[in-house]
Structure 1
Amino acid sequence: MNGPEIDFEVAPELRLFVAHERRQGRTAVVTDGSSTLGHVVESLGVPLTEAGQLLVDGRPVPASHIPVAGERIEVRAVRRPQQVPGAPLRFLLDVHLGTLARRLRLLGVDAAYESTDIGDPALATLSAQERRVLLSRDRGLLRRREIWAGAYLYSDRPEEQLRDVLSRFTPALAPWTRCTACNGELAEADKDSVSGRLEQGTQRTYDVFAQCTACGRVYWRGAHHSRLEVIVADAVREFGEAGTGTRPSA
């Protein structure tokens, strides 16, 4: 670009997105004189999903503002907890976030996820059609204009990703109410009604069951239930009250 020069600074939390030489604080940026501030922010590497308030000489401006020479630009991080317009709060996760999707569902959070890669355009369109917050570590995906709302995950560790989502969006938690396989809702199930889906050992050992109303998968308090209990207890203790749903695990 060859145009007005502006004084640019991003919040410390966002500096991982910009080139190393721009991470020390304020830096000079030359624009083309016609691009919006939102375009300039993204051209420097910061997804607009992660940009909070945009300030010009200390004044809040929209992303559509066109910078002029000499302006002092400040890009703040998204304020947490982040308010998302509309209800209910629902998520859409890209193909690389299967573990996070299952953990969100374990907590009763509506988390759509495709186990196969349907492509960035389809994900962005689905986000818009179903008004879901798109979660991803793909900065390019989050820059697509058609997404309804999105968020970058700052860690590649599922436990840290879960805390990130829960602290940022504070979704209502209702553990043990959603199918971890398909995201459908669980309902209590009579043992006789699901016996045909159970191994003989399971039939002899367990008496409390739940079944997904969408895919039919059956859940009970299996051998790994204690591990799931820890995930649920930690999340509820830090981020919200437990729901009243059935508490089996497959």
Structure 2
Amino acid sequence: MEKPEIWLEFAPELHVFVAPRHRAGRAAVRTDGASTLGHLVESLGVPLTEVGRFVLDAGPAQRREVPAGHLPGPGEEISVHPVTRPQHLPGPARFLLDVHLGTLARRLRLLGVDAAYESVDIGDPALATRSAAEQRVMLSRDRGLLRRRELWAGAYVHSHRPAEQLRDVLSRFAPPLAPWTRCTACNGLLRSASKEAVHEHLEDGTERSFDVFAQCGECAKVYWRGAHHASLNAIVEEALAEFGPVGGRAPH
């Protein structure tokens, strides 16, 4: 017996995930009569983390939202919409990044955003478990990871370029920004420190040239306005201009 068909239409924002034949308006999809709508959409390449809502068109003036667990019937027409930006989260905007997103993690921390990062590949199950245990949004370019049911929340990072990745995350989640308040090495919180208190961590030239310092309360790394400050400050200023407000302050 021939399997029944339903009709799916994906919003343009989701076309990156689906095959070309599913990008031009309505597309027929065969179903087995037992798979949920969410399962069907994921089987076509779209992680449910990227779906905002499903809308069933049941005829004139009969459009209604249906959940991912909806069992589509033969001939149903359903449009698949992306998440709305900024995306609402049930808790604070806290993130977990996989091994491939180290630069993005450091830039988020530079802006004061809570961004945990695994510098080694601990495997998808462990990442998903940590996301759930710590209620962190899993950021990844791995669609398989984003399909894991254990995730508390997740988001696909579209670009390979760190600057575009940062804009993507900030525009999607609008986390509060507090630049220069987190350690870019370990994500710990920074605190002001006197030169005397951090003396043992400084080289002679640094100690002679700078007077204002900050230190991480977790890993004890010391920060000052060194040679790289101008390039880091440019990242901060660009983010604040588009996604402020600000709550932090640079050492000066």
> Structure 1 length as normaliser, TM-score?
0.97
Matching of residue 248 in structure 1 with residue 251 in structure 2: yes
Separation of aligned partners in 2, 1:134 and 1:244: 25
Residue in 2 that maps onto 1:80: 85
Deviations, residues 184-233 of structure 1 (Å, cap 9, x unaligned): 00000010010100011000000000000000000000011000110000
Separation of aligned partners in 1, 2:50 and 2:235: 27
Which of 61, 70, 74 matches 1:69? 74
Matching of residue 222 in structure 1 with residue 223 in structure 2: no
Residue in 1 that maps onto 2:60: none
Contact 1:2–1:32 under 8 Å retained in 2: no
Which of 224, 231, 237 matches 2:235? 231
The answer for unaligned runs of 5 or more in structure 2 is: 58-62
Which of 211, 224, 242 matches 2:215? 211
Contact 1:2–1:31 under 8 Å retained in 2: no
Decide whether aligned partners of structure 1 residues 9 and 48 sit closer, same or farther in structure 2, where only a CA change above 3 A counts: same
Q: What RMSD over aligned residues (CA atoms) do the two structures have, in Å?
A: 1.2
Partner SS, residue 55 of structure 1 = strand
Which of 186, 190, 195 matches 1:186? 190
Separation of aligned partners in 2, 1:103 and 1:25: 38
2:98 partner amino acid:
D
Deviations, residues 63-107 of structure 1 (Å, cap 9, x unaligned): 010000010011001111100112x22000000000000000000
Separation of aligned partners in 2, 1:111 and 1:244: 16
Query: Could you tell me the percent identity over the aligned residues?
Result: 69
Contact 2:191–2:214 under 8 Å retained in 1: yes
Separation of aligned partners in 2, 1:5 and 1:236: 48
Partner SS, residue 49 of structure 2 = coil
Separation of aligned partners in 2, 1:43 and 1:159: 31
The answer for unaligned runs of 5 or more in structure 1 is: none
Residue in 2 that maps onto 1:126: 130
Deviation at 1:243, TM superposition (A): 1.6
Separation of aligned partners in 2, 1:241 and 1:28: 46
Residue in 1 that maps onto 2:105: 101
Deviation at 1:146, TM superposition (A): 0.4
Deviation at 1:177, TM superposition (A): 0.2
Separation of aligned partners in 2, 1:79 and 1:3: 33
Residue in 2 that maps onto 1:30: 30
Separation of aligned partners in 2, 1:158 and 1:2: 47
Residue in 2 that maps onto 1:19: 19
> Structure 2 length as normaliser, TM-score?
0.96
